[in-house]
Amino acid sequence: MTKLSVNINKIATLRNARGGDVPNLVQFAKDVEIFGAQGITIHPRPDERHIRYKDVYDLKPIVTTEYNIEGNPIPQFVDMVLDVKPTQVTLVPDAEDAITSNAGWDTIKHKDFLIEVIKEFKSHGIRTSIFVDPVMKQIEGAKATGTDRIELYTEAFAHQYGLGNEMAIKPYTECAVLANSLGLGINAGHDLSLDNIQFFKNNIPDLLEVSIGHALISESLYLGIENVINMYLHRLK
């Protein structure tokens, strides 16, 4: 079964809107694990507009499943991850002013940098994953960095699938086959939803984990968080 990691950035955004502690991020993380989520994902950014650096530390002792921290490996981020030691770190090449993640790594251009950062994380027992576009040469480049996994950036698939273009899955399937042959684990995320997750999962061999936040939280406004998590788990079987 593909694991479901719930990205809780949107809960932090809602909390921050009023300046208090409602909803409580730590309690929400506990609850989604109780409801069946197999991981918690957060993506702290330098401006702390949703997840705060303090949240990263507050969540560490209470996450009992997989703890995945995403972000651009600037020095402050690297130091924090090495201190917290999550289950997994996912490296994302975000610009500081990016609203959300919008591109994967150029694993060829940034090979030496990624090798250095990944080596440091792995030396501390932290599983590494890097955010990549579904491009074969980028998958090959990812292998050369020493990363444990890749996370396929799925926005293009989600957009085209929503327009009725099922062939949009093809480059993802091809890249997954290549990644498997190279011994890379496969994660995926960005704009995956209840509408497209089952089709995506059924066409990606050995998909280990999906990270879903915006769609899952939005769907929960209508259907309830416990119900939505179980709907995802059913589709991921």
Please state the domain extents for the chain. Answer: 3-236
pLDDT digits (tens, 9 = 90+) for 67-109: 999 999 999 999 999 999 999 999 999 766 554 556 799 999 9
Is 43 a catalytic site residue?
A: yes
**pLDDT band at residue 39 under the 50/70/90 scheme:** very high
Is 70 a catalytic site residue?
A: yes
**Residues pairing with 52 in the sheet:** none
Which CATH number does the domain 3-236 belong to among 3.40.50.150, 3.20.20.70, 3.40.1350.10, 3.30.70.260? 3.20.20.70
pLDDT digits (tens, 9 = 90+) for 164-211: 999 999 999 999 999 999 999 999 999 999 999 999 999 999 999 999
Q: What is the pTM of this model?
A: 0.95
In the set 33, 43, 50, 209, the catalytic residue is: 43
In the set 33, 70, 151, 219, the catalytic residue is: 70
**Percent of the chain whose pLDDT exceeds 70:** 97
pLDDT attached to residue 178:
98
In the set 33, 50, 190, 209, the catalytic residue is: 190
pLDDT attached to residue 74:
95
pLDDT attached to residue 95:
63
pLDDT attached to residue 103:
79
Q: Is pLDDT of 59 > 80?
A: yes
- The average confidence (pLDDT) of the chain is 96
pLDDT digits (tens, 9 = 90+) for 142-173: 999 999 999 999 999 999 999 999 999 999 99
pLDDT digits (tens, 9 = 90+) for 99-137: 455 679 999 999 999 999 999 999 999 999 999 999 999
pLDDT attached to residue 54:
97
pLDDT attached to residue 98:
52
pLDDT attached to residue 94:
78
Residue 35 and residue 30: Cα distance in Å, rounded? 9
